[in-house]
Amino acid sequence: METKILYTDVKLPESPSVVKISINDKEFIAPVLVGTEGEKALDIRELRKQTGFITYDPGFANTGSCKSAITFIDEEGILRYRGIPIEDLAGKATFLEVAFLLLNSKLPTENELREFELGILRRMALHEDLKNQFHVYPRDAHPMSILASMVASLAAFYPEKPSGNDESEDYKNYLRLIAKFPTIAAYSFKKSIGHPFIYPRQDYGYCENFLYMMFSHPSCNYEILPEVVEALELLFILHADHEQNCSTSTARLVRSSQANIFAAVTAAICALWGPRHGGANEAVISMLSFIRDNKIPVKNFVERVKNKEFRLMGFGHRVYKSYDPRAKIIKDACHRLLKKLNKEDELLSIALELEEAALHDEYFIERKLYPNVDFYSGIMYRAMGIPTKAFTVMFALGRLPGWLAHIREFDKDPDNKIGRPRQIYVGSNVTSYTPLSER
Ligand code: CMC
């Protein structure tokens, strides 16, 4: 039997707009939801119950999994946190100010910010038993693996009360996570080079503490450069949230089973790790180094990308179909940082040449592929002395407030439900069991 599906806009008196979907002799009325920026969605929650149909949308490219008031992004290259354009926050706000904004839906007053900062700074040290856990890893362990397992371990040190979902306890856990992430990141680096772990200091700021724990050593003085602190603040702010990306959706999904906050964040870290997502910043540097080490002319490399031998890492985005606004800011900041530090990086020259070649090539123009957040960020991290293997950890440090803001929003959402997609089963029909001796 042929299935006819019709879509028509219909106005009903009690609703500003609905869409009528006719499937054979059944009719489904889908209420239309309109976001504050005019995005339209069909509410299909009753679709299967009423018609027996589900929707098919691999990669969820057309699926709204929730309503969210945290971040708005648009294919034209717009990014706003709680309505504030990223260009207004970058270079003006601090990372912790942005973290407060994402978590609390408003910019903090001076007192609120001081209290928030103190709540984080005094929680930066790790429990000594957790610190000792670093000794079980091999020296060359990937820092994302250490970050994920250490964050999972936090649940053992700060178990949720049996009553669960206590808002003030949850808030303490947000502060704990923001506080302990840089310490875990720095200790995984110290472990890899066999240096002693450095305790955080409450008289240093958040980014200063990270640099201090990463690079200082008991036997010598370490100067925290203000230009590096400024660059770090900027990078963290630019990574702080990006609505329903793979890691954030993962955090929401895991939280939807009512797993604890540490478990949800651990899952988000693991989702971020892959090269299609946060792992791209590490992959960009591998790609640029590969071009340099093998003396591959940029033009030839671009041809190989077009022949689908590999992807141009740090290019393309599911939502942005123009220049990623974060990449624009990072590219300028990258030039500024290298100049201030009086450093040159041949990988930057290759990246600039690659960008130029790609932006003038029909393959990339047609597919609307532009540099994304990961294309230039690694060159900045290199200039700061951060090892390539730790780049995705840096992404995680920046993205953490976003994950937490989404977990908090999910918890407060009256529509929240366990995440449980459907599937279209395409396997064998009922088949009888053949005993082992007869196979
Ligand atoms: N290099 C070459 N071709 C590409 C690229 C790329 N980086 N990205 C997409 N394409 C092509 C792809 O081959 C496809 O071509 P065709 O129509 O001929 O099959 C077309 O563009 C559409 O690609 P898609 O895979 O359907 O797009 P998507 O929205 O599912 O994927 C993406 C988005 C970010 C995973 C993808 O662009 C990609 O793999 N980029 C490289 C990895 C990367 O930089 N990731 C970081 C993303 S931004 C930060 C973050 O989210 O963490």
Structure confidence by residue, pLDDT tens digits, 117-135 = 999 999 999 999 999 999 9
CA distances from 228 to 56, 258, 385 (A): 46, 39, 10
pTM: 0.95
Mean pLDDT for 361-368 is: 98
Whose structure tokens read 């001076």? Answer: 110
* Cα 183 from Cα 125, distance rounded (Å): 7
Given this model, what pLDDT does residue 11 score?
A: 53
Q: What confidence category does residue 161 fall into, taking pLDDT thresholds of 50, 70 and 90?
A: confident
Q: Which two tokens stand for residue 432?
A: 């009888």
- Residue 7 is given by DSSP the state E
Nearest CA to ligand 1 atom 31: 318
Angle at 232 between CA 227 and CA 235, to 5 degrees: 125
276 CA distance to ligand 1 middle (Å): 8
Contacts with 261 (C-beta within 8 Å, 6 or more apart), sequence order: 160, 170, 173, 174, 177, 255, 404, 407
Given this model, what pLDDT does residue 1 score?
A: 44
Clarify whether 317 is annotated catalytic: yes
Mean pLDDT for 219-229 is: 94
Per the CB < 8 A criterion, the answer to whether 351 and 338 are in contact is no
Q: What confidence category does residue 24 fall into, taking pLDDT thresholds of 50, 70 and 90?
A: confident
Nearest CA to ligand 1 atom 16: 367
Per the CB < 8 A criterion, the answer to whether 114 and 262 are in contact is no
Per the CB < 8 A criterion, the answer to whether 116 and 102 are in contact is no
Q: Burial, 2: exposed, middle or buried (Cβ in 10 Å; 0-12, 13-18, 19+)?
A: exposed
Atom of ligand 1 nearest to the CA of 372: 48
Q: Which residues is 340 bridged to in the sheet? A: none
Max Cα separation, the chain? 80
pLDDT of 363 strictly over 70: yes
Residues touching ligand 1 (Cβ under 6 Å) are 59, 245, 276-278, 280, 305, 311-318, 367, 369, 372-374
State the CB neighbour count (10 A cutoff) for residue 128.
8
Given this model, what pLDDT does residue 249 score?
A: 98
Given this model, what pLDDT does residue 368 score?
A: 97
Whose structure tokens read 């990246």? Answer: 351
Given this model, what pLDDT does residue 164 score?
A: 62
Candidate from 246, 277, 288, 311 with most ligand 1 atoms within 8 A of CB, to mutate: 311
Helices (H) and strands (E) in the chain, counts: 18, 7
Mean pLDDT for 214-220 is: 95
Given this model, what pLDDT does residue 339 score?
A: 97
Given this model, what pLDDT does residue 26 score?
A: 82
Rounded to 10 degrees, the C-alpha dihedral 205/206/208/209 comes to: 110
**Cα dihedral sign for 113, 115, 119, 122?**
positive
Given this model, what pLDDT does residue 16 score?
A: 55
Per the CB < 8 A criterion, the answer to whether 104 and 401 are in contact is no
State the pairing for strand pair 40-42/71-74: unpaired
**Cα dihedral sign for 193, 199, 201, 202?**
positive
Catalytic residue (one of 242, 317, 324, 406): 317
Given this model, what pLDDT does residue 152 score?
A: 98
Nearest CA to ligand 1 atom 14: 367
Given this model, what pLDDT does residue 310 score?
A: 94
Catalytic residue (one of 374, 406, 411, 415): 374
Candidate from 368, 372, 394 with most ligand 1 atoms within 8 A of CB, to mutate: 372
pLDDT of 243 strictly over 80: yes
DSSP string computed for 26-44 = EEEEEEEEE-TT--EEE--
pLDDT of 352 strictly over 90: yes
Given this model, what pLDDT does residue 18 score?
A: 84
Given this model, what pLDDT does residue 160 score?
A: 83
Given this model, what pLDDT does residue 7 score?
A: 52
Per the CB < 8 A criterion, the answer to whether 337 and 224 are in contact is no
Atom of ligand 1 nearest to the CA of 395: 52
Q: Burial, 420: exposed, middle or buried (Cβ in 10 Å; 0-12, 13-18, 19+)?
A: exposed
Query: 149: alpha, beta or left, given left = phi > 0 and alpha = psi -120 to 50?
Result: alpha
DSSP string computed for 229-276 = HHHHHHHHHHHS--SS-HHHHHHHHHHHTT--HHHHHHHHHHHHTSTT
**Cα dihedral sign for 175, 181, 184, 186?**
negative
Q: Is the model more confident about 104 or about 161?
A: 104
Q: Choose among 106, 235, 27, 119: nearest CA to 18.
A: 27
Candidate from 270, 315, 399 with most ligand 1 atoms within 8 A of CB, to mutate: 315
Per the CB < 8 A criterion, the answer to whether 155 and 161 are in contact is no
Structure confidence by residue, pLDDT tens digits, 46-84 = 999 999 999 999 999 999 999 999 999 999 999 999 999
pLDDT of 163 strictly over 70: no
